[in-house]
Amino acid sequence: MIENSRIEFKRELNSKLEKEVVGFLNNQEGGIIYIGLDDRGEVYDIEDLDGTQLKIIDRIRDGILPSPLGLFDVVIEEIDNKEIIKIIISSGTEKPYYIKKYGLSPAGSYIRIGSSTQQMTTSLIDDLYSRRVRNSLNRILSPRQDLTFAQLKIYYEENGLSLNDNFAKNLELLTEDGKYNYNAYLLADNNGLSMKVAKYKGTDKVDLIENAEFGYCSIVKATNNILDKLELENITKTKITSKLREERRLVDPRALREAAINAIVHNDYSTEIPPLFEIFSDKIVITSTGGLPQNLTEKGFFSGISAPRNKELMRAFKDLKLVEHLGSGMLRILSKYDRSIFTFLGNFLKVSFMFEKDSVDENVGKSVGKDVGEINIKLNKNQEKILAEIAKDNRITQKRISKILNISDRTVQRNTLILQKKGLLKRIGPANGGYWEIAD
């Protein structure tokens, strides 16, 4: 690696951190700062790695305006068997950004140009300020102000986090005058957002056989429900050759998950058009509204450059581990598929995952009573562990399974439902007093 317009090396954490971060926030493509690499790319040990990470997060969070929360990640990366710190910075949505203590002036405003970070002129600051996005969701007033967030709090607790009384302010869910904004509306227990998963019999939209609706609840809950639905539909097929039977999913599950989450978190909700998920006999298609965010080019998009349209939603999704670090989702998709699966249609972005033509259907959802070895049902690790616990005690509760396996109650509920739909598990009798039956 060498320093360039998107990469900066720092041998150690120094006083120029905020300057470099501001420079990347104001740049159209964002960038990456490595702490622990000198100008020649030589690796140096970092004393107190965890403490340095926390200092970096605090300095970026508290020392830069407008708030950069949701626009940066601080992660550990290993190079030459040594751990260094990688700061991933997205292009900001509210340019110009500046160092708080110097104010919105040339002394506090910087931009990355080439391999250096340069002070911005007054005219450039004024120009960027005049073009600042006005329809961002944090400025749009929620249609309702009687919002509750019980679902969101449960998801945070499941991830070892808690929301205190100031969570709305901390997550930037308030307008400047202290009222709930549109981000709050989307994350609330009840809202008007509805996302659909449509299923068709053929390769076109002529014969609709199912139109499942997910919504009117926290966008986090709706997202998890959609991911569960796509997981069920993404059945295992078998490619038959002269020598073996090669099992595979219709679509790579990780790529499908990343595309679905990207469509939801980057959708332009100011248009009031939600993302759409469509399942055909030969493909799964995901369409989101808004096109490429922040004037991001197709080249930048495919190279993994991150420019979150909804940084507040991105932050919540990161907290809840629905997304990993910025820009990682696109790279995971492109590791399995080429760029041709993406179609840019003005204000819409479509991702089409085509099924393999030489596969033979083996729909596990219709396999009750069949020999598991013959139908080649694929289970994830949690599902295997759940079945193992039920085999030991068929009256075990989901709560007890959760405690034994050290996974959330919701994860147990979701996977037992999947096992039931796959025909591997039955519930006999009521929820209290009944028992489990594993299919023969």
The β-bridge partners of 212 are 197
Kindly list the structural domains of the chain, giving each domain's residue range(s) and its CATH number in brackets, ordered by start. Answer: 7-130 (3.30.950.30), 194-354 (3.30.565.60), 364-438 (1.10.10.10)
Asked whether the predicted pLDDT for residue 169 surpasses 90, the reply is: yes
Given a contact cutoff of 8 angstroms between Cβ atoms, the answer to whether 97 and 89 are in contact is: no
Per-residue pLDDT, 360: 40
SS3 of 188, please? coil
d(CA 117, CA 108): 12
Cα 233 to Cα 206, 256, 373, distances in angstroms:
20, 11, 21
Model confidence pLDDT, tens digit, residues 297-337: 777 777 777 777 888 999 999 999 898 777 778 888 988 99
Model confidence pLDDT, tens digit, residues 253-286: 999 999 999 999 999 998 889 999 999 999 999 9
Per-residue pLDDT, 237: 64
Strands (E), 394-434: 425-428
- Output the pTM of the full model: 0.67
**Structure-block tokens of residue 374:** 């013959």
Estimate the crossing angle of helix 311-319 against helix 253-265, to 10 degrees. Answer: 140
Q: Which amino acid is at 380?
A: N
Model confidence pLDDT, tens digit, residues 328-385: 788 889 889 999 999 988 789 999 999 876 544 444 333 333 333 333 467 888 888 8
According to DSSP, residue 378 is labeled -
